[in-house]
Amino acid sequence: MFNMPTTARSWGLAGVLAVAATLAACGESPTKKVDMKSYAEKLAASLSKICPVAKPDDMTAFDKCRHGMGTGDENLALNDNVVLWGGEQPKLGWDKKKLAYIKSDFWRSTYFSLFMFSGKQKILGEGPEGTTIVSIEAYFRNALPPGAYPYPFWHHGDKWVAYETANEIRFYLGADGKAKFVTRAHEGSYDNRGPWAWAPVKPPAFDGQWMWSDDKGQTQPYITLFSEQYSAGNPHLARLDETYKTVALAMRGGDCMACHAPDGHKIMNRLTMLMTPRHAASEIDGILKSVRDNKMPQTEKGDPKAMDPKLKNELLITGEAFKKAIEEANAWERKNQPKNKPTS
Ligand code: HEC
């Protein structure tokens, strides 16, 4: 099956053994299976260390959590690329659940870090698609300022209440320990929510805007701005903002937000959101590809919809400039602030 190249002899014994070990590993099991029990324990322990239960309005704890996310074992369960995330929706089969596609690192710092973890976990059994369901006890930070949430979770019906009363996050893990999807649910316990009294929060009225200016003139949600993602000294910040503005205008011209905002679930089960700077940045490759290939925009029925060639050209040019700014900002960060991991 494998002819040892003659040069292998000159690698010395260690090299030859390394090759043999790799081959043996490949031959025996292409996917490494994890021991779910110890894996779940590790996951919950890591989360409770980085994001322990605190008061739901504790900004210091929140900031520590979102900046610490990604440094510990909680990473094990995330795919390198994307998380499928949403409410549990127990009555719907897995393929009918309305879930959002979100890049893993963006999800970790802006959605996942809105939760606090007690360290408790349990294995709930088998899920769809050959998954094992691991429930991690989790409580939602419901008393942060409105701009700390990546979009107004109070935009529709009981969604805010569903978030604020969640008490577990369920990881649907493949045999390799990577999450096929992740949900929030309410079937757990509130026993470890902390010694302080818990109270529901009435969110502001939703006025139809995914982004808004607060009474100090600051753009909100601040958490979706590049200034939250990159160091203050990053010399590419201003260009990121400028290039985002031009691509956002072109996307508005292409009517992209009619479908790619949180209410887009009306049209699609698996939703890609593009309505804030960081949402758009995390999807810039998909934006460029789908427009270039004439897949987007589309009609509500899913047929490609022609775009004015001038507007299409503008979207591609501004999109490329935005992509370049993101790449340069990331490169600067990797070189100068290696502890910060702004990969999307
Ligand atoms: C009428 C609704 C609608 C409009 C308008 C629309 N999209 Fe989409 N978009 C969809 C649907 C539905 C999907 C999922 C398609 C699929 O999974 O095959 C999608 C998928 C995508 C994806 C993810 C797919 C990938 O390959 O990464 C991107 C990015 C995207 N659209 C960008 C855009 C952009 C940019 C515009 C505006 C120029 C736009 N869309 C306009 C409905 C729409």
Mutate to test the pocket of ligand 1, among 103, 106, 260 (most ligand atoms within 8 A of CB): 260
CA distances for 29 relative to 2, 22, 23, 32, angstroms: 18, 11, 10, 6
**Cα 58 to ligand 1 centre (Å):** 37
Tell me the whole-structure pTM to 2 decimals.
Answer: 0.89
What per-residue confidence (pLDDT) applies to 99? Answer: 94
Alpha carbon distance 259, 261 (integer Å):
6
Q: How far apart are CA 163 and CA 77, in angstroms?
A: 22
Q: Residues 251-263: pLDDT tens digits?
A: 999 999 999 999 9
pLDDT at residue number 32: 78
Confidence at residue 308, expressed as pLDDT on a 0 to 100 scale = 94
CA-to-CA dists, residue 326 to 83, 246, 275, 344, angstroms: 21, 14, 17, 8
Task: Give the model's pLDDT for residue 22.
Answer: 42
Residue identified by tokens 């508005």 is 252
Question: Which residue stretches of the chain have pLDDT < 50?
Answer: 1-29, 342-344
Show contacts of 79-87: CB within 8 Å, 24+ apart. Answer: 79/104, 79/178, 79/179, 80/104, 83/107, 83/179, 83/181, 83/182, 84/180, 84/181, 84/182, 84/270, 85/111, 85/181, 85/182, 85/183, 86/181, 86/183, 86/184, 87/159, 87/162, 87/183, 87/184, 87/185
pLDDT of residue 26: 44
256 Cβ inside 6 Å of ligand 1:
yes
> Residue 213's closest CA among 203, 223, 226, 222?
222
pLDDT cut 90: percent of the chain above it? 78
CB distance 300 to ligand 1 below 6 Å: yes
Cα of 124 from ligand 1 centre, angstroms? 34
Could you tell me the distance, in angstroms and rounded to a whole number, from the CA of residue 290 to the centre of ligand 1? 7
Report the separation in Å between the CA atom of 84 and the middle of ligand 1, taken as the mean of its atom positions: 16
Task: Give the model's pLDDT for residue 341.
Answer: 57
**Could you please report the per-residue DSSP string of 11-73?**
GHHHHHHHHHHHHHHHHH-SSPPP-HHHHHHHHHHHHHHHSB---TT-HHHHHHHHHHTTSSG
Measured by CA distance, the residue closest to atom 6 of ligand 1 is: 297
